[in-house]
Amino acid sequence: MRPRLRLLIADDSAPTRDSLRRLLEFEQDIELVGEAGDGEEAIAQARLLRPDVILMDINMTPVDGITATEVISTEIPRSVIVMMSVQGEQEYLRQAMAAGARDYLTKPFSCDELVHTLQNAYERESKRWLQVAPNLSSAKTYAGKVITVFSAKGGVGKTTIATNLAALLSHELDKSVIIVDLDLQFGDVPVLLDFVPRRTIIDLAQAAEWGREEVQHCLYEYSPNLKVLSPPTRPEEAELVSGNHVKQLIGILRQLADYIIIDTAQSFQEPILAALDESDYIAIIATLDIPTIKNVRLCLEVMQGVLDYPVEKTKLVVNRAAEDIGIKADVLEERLGISISAKIPSDGRLAIQAANTGIPFVLSSPKSAISQGIRELAGKVAGEAGAATPEPAPGWGLLGRLLRHGGT
Ligand SMILES: Nc1ncnc2c1ncn2[C@@H]1O[C@H](COP(=O)(O)OP(=O)(O)OP(=O)(O)O)[C@@H](O)[C@H]1O
Ligand SMILES: [Mg+2]
pLDDT in tens, 176-190: 999 999 999 999 999
Q: Which ligand is nearest to the CA of 156?
A: 1
- Rounded to the nearest angstrom, the distance between the alpha carbon of 185 and the centre of ligand 2 is 10
Q: Which atom of ligand 1 is closest in space to residue 263's alpha carbon?
A: 22
- Ligand 1 atom closest to residue 355's alpha carbon, by position in its atom list: 31
Residues flanking ion ligand 2, Cβ below 5 Å = 158-159
pLDDT tier at 69, thresholds 50, 70, 90: very high
CB 344 within 8 A of CB 370: yes
Q: Ligand 1 in contact with 311 (CB < 6 A)?
A: no
Residue 396 pLDDT exceeds 60: no
Residue 87: CB atoms within 10 Å:
7
Query: How confident is the model over 103-126, as a mean pLDDT?
Result: 92
Which residue's alpha carbon is nearest to atom 12 within ligand 1? Answer: 157
Establish whether residue 158 lines the binding site of ligand 1, counting it when its CB lies within 6 angstroms of any ligand atom: yes
Alpha helices (H) in 106-221, listed in sequence order:
111-132, 134-137, 158-167, 189-192, 201-205, 212-218
Give the number of the atom of ligand 1 that is nearest the alpha carbon of residue 370. 1
Predicted confidence at residue 324, as pLDDT, reads: 66
What is the pLDDT at residue 289? 87
Structural element, H or E, at residue 67: helix 65-75
CA 348 – ligand 1 centroid, Å: 9
Pocket test for ligand 1, best of 153, 159, 160 (most atoms within 8 A of CB): 160
Residue 26 CA, ligand 1 centroid: distance in Å: 38
User: What pLDDT shows up at residue 2?
Assistant: 57
321 lines ligand 1 (CB under 6 A): no
Predicted confidence band of residue 330 (pLDDT cuts 50, 70, 90): confident
Domains contained in the chain, CATH given: 5-137 (3.40.50.2300), 145-404 (3.40.50.300)
Burial 252-283 (b: 16+ CB within 10 A, else e): bbbebbbbbbbbbbbbebebbebbbebbebbb
Name residue 57's beta-bridge partners.
Answer: 84
What is the structure's pLDDT at 384?
Answer: 45
Ligand 2 centre to CA of 211 (Å) is 27
Does residue 370 have its Cβ closer than 6 Å to ligand 1? yes
Q: What percent of the chain has pLDDT over 90?
A: 67
Instruction: Tell me which of 33-47, 147-161, 229-243, 269-283 is least confident.
Output: 33-47
